[in-house]
């Protein structure tokens, strides 16, 4: 049975008014309080926890993500038509993406480099190295119909990524696992064939998240399955959490942590009883999470 440990975190001198969205990575916590107050904390879970970045954004983010090295912060609007990246080391906005279409963007690793993978319109996929913004991939997957990307996720091994999307006018999302290094080294036509090729699996409303560096958890409307990245078969059904209103998902080989607007749910994969923690907002990072309850108390949750 998985043990859930909760540790209060002291945020001294900063009264939280309305913490809406948050991101947690390694020892860093980023949150947006109220409409546009951005706060970034370092050394989370230690006595040295402190604010390292604070700024009024002058716009209202709908979500926020931290990069694997915790240097870059990705913020996006609720409508998905505006994305902003902060360089927390140099304390400046690194890049802004805006347009009429809903955009998808994610940060991850390519070897020792951090990269931004984004799609600004159906069929289009681009990747740049951070912070130089050097382009390493620009591909169009529009035939026979454009691929409408819904999410990207770095698998954590510095090479492979999960690409989730569906063909225009089709219902089922498809999951393709591909090496970003390979995609960046072959021509655009070949890269489009890989991304539009035979998917690992297809389902309505599909969400994929890494489990370590060699497995992937895939949540559909009816089931959560776990499989090795190098396997072509033997998908194992594990648990059936509710997909409706799901905000984020993190999984290990023994449990899945699901974040919803009003609660955090830890579900053992052996069929044991789930643990629910009511919250105002939360942020996941592997087997850990930061939870802010309705009284604005901030806690570090560790499962294991």
pLDDT digits (tens, 9 = 90+) for 109-140: 998 899 999 999 999 999 999 999 999 999 99
Residue with tokens 């529009």: 142
Domain presence at residue 220? yes
Would 77 be classed as within a structural domain? Answer: no
Q: Can you give the pLDDT at residue 141?
A: 93
Q: Is 151 among the domain residues? A: yes
Query: What secondary structure does DSSP assign to 199-219, as a single string?
Result: -SEEEES-EEEEETTTEEEEE
What pLDDT is stored for residue 242 in this prediction?
Answer: 64
- What's the rounded mean pLDDT across residues 89-112? 92
In a domain, 127, yes or no: yes
Instruction: Find residue 115's DSSP bridge partners.
Output: 108, 129
Q: What are phi and psi of 97, to 5 degrees?
A: -120, 130
- Domain total in the chain: 1
Residue 62 located in a structural domain: no
Give the pair of three-digit tokens for residue 184: 């960046």
Residue 111 in tokens:
């070897």
List residues bridging with 63 in a β-sheet: 76
Question: 217 pLDDT exceeds 90?
Answer: no
CA distance linking residue 98 with residue 118, whole number of Å: 12
CATH number at residue 236: 2.130.10.10
Residue 182 is assigned to a structural domain of this protein: yes
- Other CB atoms closer than 10 Å to residue 302's CB: what's the count? 14
Residue 223, pLDDT above cutoff 80: no
How does pLDDT run across 132-189, given as a tens digit for each residue? 999 999 999 998 889 999 999 998 777 899 999 999 988 889 999 999 999 999 989 9
Q: What is residue 188's three-state secondary structure? A: helix
Q: Which domain holds residue 174?
A: 101-240
Residue 239 — very low, low, confident or very high, per pLDDT cuts 50/70/90?
low
pLDDT in tens, 18-77: 999 999 999 999 999 999 999 999 999 888 899 999 999 999 999 999 999 999 999 999
Residue 50 lies in a domain: no
Name the strands in the sheet holding 82-87, side by side, starting at the edge strand that comes first in the sequence. Answer: 61-66, 72-77, 82-87, 92-98
Q: What is the chain's mean pLDDT, rounded?
A: 88
Angle at 9 between CA 4 and CA 13, to 5 degrees: 165
Examine residue 179 and state whether it is found in any structural domain, yes or no: yes
């Amino acid at each position: 049975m998985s043990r859930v440990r909760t540790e209060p975190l002291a945020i001294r001198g900063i009264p939280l008014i309305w913490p809406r969205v948050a991101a947690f990575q390694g020892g860093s916590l980023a949150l947006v309080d109220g409409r546009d107050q951005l706060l970034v904390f370092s050394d989370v879970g230690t006595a040295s926890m402190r604010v390292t970045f604070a700024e009024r954004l002058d716009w209202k983010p709908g979500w926020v993500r931290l990069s694997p090295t915790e240097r870059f912060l990705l913020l996006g609007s609720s409508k998905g038509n505006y994305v902003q990246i902060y360089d927390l080391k140099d304390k400046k906005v690194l890049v802004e993406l805006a347009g009429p279409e809903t955009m998808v963007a994610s940060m991850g690793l390519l070897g020792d480099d951090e990269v931004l993978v984004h799609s600004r319109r159906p069929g289009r996929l681009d990747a740049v190295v951070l912070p130089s913004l050097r382009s390493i991939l620009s591909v169009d997957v529009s035939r026979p119909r454009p691929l409408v990307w819904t999410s990207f996720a770095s698998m954590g091994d510095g090479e492979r990524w999960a690409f989730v999307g569906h063909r225009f006018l089709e219902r089922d999302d498809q999951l393709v696992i591909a090496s970003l290094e390979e995609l960046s080294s072959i021509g655009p036509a070949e890269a489009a064939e890989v991304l539009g090729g035979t998917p690992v699996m297809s389902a309505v409303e599909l969400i994929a998240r890494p489990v370590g560096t060699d497995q992937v958890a895939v949540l559909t409307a009816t089931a959560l399955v776990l499989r090795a990245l190098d396997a072509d078969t033997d998908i194992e059904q594990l648990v059936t959490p509710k997909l409706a209103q799901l905000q984020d998902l993190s999984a290990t080989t023994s449990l899945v942590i699901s974040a919803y607007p009003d609660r955090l749910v830890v579900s053992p994969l052996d069929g044991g009883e789930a643990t629910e923690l009511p919250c105002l907002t939360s942020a996941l990072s592997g087997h850990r999470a930061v939870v802010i309850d309705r009284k604005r108390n901030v806690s570090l949750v560790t499962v294991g």
